[in-house]
């Protein structure tokens, strides 16, 4: 078993947490879900889900992780000894495996697009040509697999180097750069001719478009985007020192993640409308629109290279947090060497990833419950496993832990001062609101 690492500083924790949260979920998944779910009304429900549901889970995972200083399985074993609670750890491990399997396929696309940008392959391409290029990219057999393996390999190398020396270091540079780039693109996007329809789509809600599915998609996206319910936050929190203010860190993580999502929406939707692309284009949205915007910008080719590199980094900082869940579990529960845990995890993830990737092309006829393998992994993790993992965390903190233990963690053992009312309000959300609402949404939309 490897020696337990810890984060070096508060900023390091924030960068790692925000690195996990900000990723393809914000820049790739959020815009296309907004597009397919009718725009502003979806965003409003999404924001409500972040505030009322995802945030209490974020606190709960922080509490469980930091208090136990252990992996997803060991955490419940430590905090609820002599009970069956530890078995819930499997759900987190399963969820992380499922997400990283399709996530690394998309991560591979980002590398592919980085290479395309660096070799000027989008220059002067029309919207139709760019749509065709994306379709070609993802339906090919060999190249997406190669890129996926490269993506997984890099993820593994950083996890092997350790969170502090790998991810913390790179995130500090790349996250701010990514943010600046997305803002530049957003400004260009809103100043395009005919961009207004996109702004309206983003900010003028049409509530007639809302269905039970909208709620489930918004909930799943809120959890996916904040990385809650999969044990990533729990695992990272287990490396956080006793003196950190976890309420502040959770809020900062949620705010940076939400800002990224909204700015990504503003970067993409106006351009979608200005160029006459359909907002419900689906997973290709960001890969088609952004190259098109870059074609309209001075130094566009250079920005395209930077953007796809930054997108790749955003994806890597998230995939690492998923791999860490699995590796910490194998490492600590089976006393394996970190290297062995990583190799075993990679074999499993890469095998599943192959099916996810091929399901975009030669295996697209294979449908499970009406979905391609890729969509099945995506939807089942975001809409079922993450809510389930989140539900477990809030129920554990609200109903199994003692309120005094909860208060002790929230206040970092008395170091951080909160009024009794504030502590009580958080508790009320964790104990009653989050579990009831999550269970209602998931059960209603499933049946």
* Contact footprint for ligand PFF (CB under 6 A): 20-21, 23-26, 96, 99, 224-225, 227, 230, 232, 318, 321-322
CB contact at 8 A, 226 and 58: yes
In whole angstroms, how close is the CB of 228 to ligand PFF at the nearest point?
A: 8
C-alpha to C-alpha distance for 36 and 181, rounded to whole angstroms: 25
In whole angstroms, how close is the CB of 31 to ligand PFF at the nearest point?
A: 12
Q: 426-444 burial, b if ≥16 CB within 10 A, otherwise e?
A: bbebbbebbbebbeebbee
CA nearest neighbour of 96 among 324, 286, 278: 324
Choose between 266 and 322: whose C-beta lies nearer to ligand PFF. Answer: 322
In whole angstroms, how close is the CB of 92 to ligand PFF at the nearest point?
A: 9
Choose between 225 and 445: whose C-beta lies nearer to ligand PFF. Answer: 225
Choose between 61 and 281: whose C-beta lies nearer to ligand PFF. Answer: 61
Q: What is the sign of the dihedral through the CA atoms of 390, 392, 393 and 394?
A: positive
Choose between 225 and 295: whose C-beta lies nearer to ligand PFF. Answer: 225
Choose between 109 and 427: whose C-beta lies nearer to ligand PFF. Answer: 109
In whole angstroms, how close is the CB of 322 to ligand PFF at the nearest point?
A: 5
In whole angstroms, how close is the CB of 224 to ligand PFF at the nearest point?
A: 5
Choose between 45 and 133: whose C-beta lies nearer to ligand PFF. Answer: 45
CB contact at 8 A, 353 and 152: yes
The residue ranges of DSSP E strands in 351-444, in sequence order, are: none
Tokens, residue 367: 């449908």
Tokens, residue 286: 């960001």
Residues present in the chain in total? 447
Choose between 35 and 300: whose C-beta lies nearer to ligand PFF. Answer: 35
In whole angstroms, how close is the CB of 51 to ligand PFF at the nearest point?
A: 17
Residue showing the smallest CB distance to ligand PFF in the complex: 25
In whole angstroms, how close is the CB of 413 to ligand PFF at the nearest point?
A: 27
- Which residues, in sequence order, are CB contacts of 168 under 8 Å at separation 6+? 7, 8, 12, 15, 16
Choose between 227 and 295: whose C-beta lies nearer to ligand PFF. Answer: 227
- Helices in 275-299 by DSSP H: which ranges? 285-295
- Other residues' Cβ atoms within 10 Å of the Cβ of residue 445: 19
User: How far is Cα of residue 349 from the mean position of the Cα atoms in its chain?
Assistant: 17
Choose between 316 and 397: whose C-beta lies nearer to ligand PFF. Answer: 316
In whole angstroms, how close is the CB of 225 to ligand PFF at the nearest point?
A: 4
CA nearest neighbour of 389 among 226, 217, 159: 226
In whole angstroms, how close is the CB of 25 to ligand PFF at the nearest point?
A: 2
User: How far is Cα of residue 339 from the mean position of the Cα atoms in its chain?
Assistant: 25
C-alpha to C-alpha distance for 360 and 357, rounded to whole angstroms: 6
CB contact at 8 A, 220 and 386: yes
């Amino acid at each position: 078993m490897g020696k337990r690492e810890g984060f070096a500083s508060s900023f390091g924790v924030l960068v790692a947490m925000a690195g996990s949260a900000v990723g393809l979920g914000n820049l790739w998944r959020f815009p296309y879900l907004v597009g397919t779910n009718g725009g502003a009304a979806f965003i409003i429900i999404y924001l409500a889900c972040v505030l009322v549901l995802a945030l209490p889970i974020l606190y709960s995972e922080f509490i469980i992780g930091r208090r136990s200083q252990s992996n997803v399985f060991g955490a419940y074993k430590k905090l609820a000894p002599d009970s069956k609670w530890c078995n819930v750890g499997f759900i987190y491990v399963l969820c992380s495996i499922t997400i990283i399997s399709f996530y690394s396929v998309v991560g591979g696309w980002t590398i592919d697009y980085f290479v395309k940008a660096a070799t000027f392959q989008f220059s002067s391409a029309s919207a139709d040509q760019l749509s065709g290029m994306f379709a070609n990219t993802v339906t090919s057999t060999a190249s997406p697999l190669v890129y996926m393996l490269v993506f997984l390999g890099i993820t593994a190398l950083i996890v092997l180097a350790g969170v502090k020396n790998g991810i913390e270091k790179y995130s500090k540079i790349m996250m701010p750069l990514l943010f600046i780039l997305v803002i530049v693109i957003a400004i260009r996007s809103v100043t395009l001719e005919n961009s207004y329809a996109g702004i309206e789509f983003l900010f003028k809600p049409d509530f007639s478009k809302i269905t039970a599915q909208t709620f489930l998609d918004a909930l799943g996206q809120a959890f996916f985007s904040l990385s809650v319910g999969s044990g990533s936050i729990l695992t990272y929190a287990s490396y956080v020192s006793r003196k950190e203010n976890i309420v502040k860190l959770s809020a900062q993580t949620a705010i940076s993640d939400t800002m990224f999502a909204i700015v990504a929406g503003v970067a993409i939707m106006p351009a979608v409308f200005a160029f006459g692309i359909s907002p419900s284009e689906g997973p290709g949205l960001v890969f088609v629109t952004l190259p098109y915007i870059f074609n309209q910008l001075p130094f566009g080719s250079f920005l395209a290279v930077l953007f796809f590199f930054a997108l790749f980094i955003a994806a890597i900082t998230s995939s690492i947090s998923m791999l860490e869940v699995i590796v910490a579990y194998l490492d600590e529960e089976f006393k394996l060497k970190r290297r062995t845990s990583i190799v075993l995890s990679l074999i499993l993830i890469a095998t599943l990833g192959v099916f996810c990737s091929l399901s975009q092309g030669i295996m697209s006829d294979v449908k499970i419950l009406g979905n391609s393998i890729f969509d099945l992994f995506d939807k089942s993790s975001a809409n079922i496993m993450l809510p389930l993992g989140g539900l477990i965390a809030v129920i554990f903190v609200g109903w199994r832990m003692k309120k005094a233990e909860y208060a002790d963690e929230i206040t970092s053992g008395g170091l951080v001062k909160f009024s009794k009312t504030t502590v009580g309000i958080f508790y009320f959300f964790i104990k009653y609101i989050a579990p009831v609402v999550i269970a209602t949404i998931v059960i209603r939309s499933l049946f």
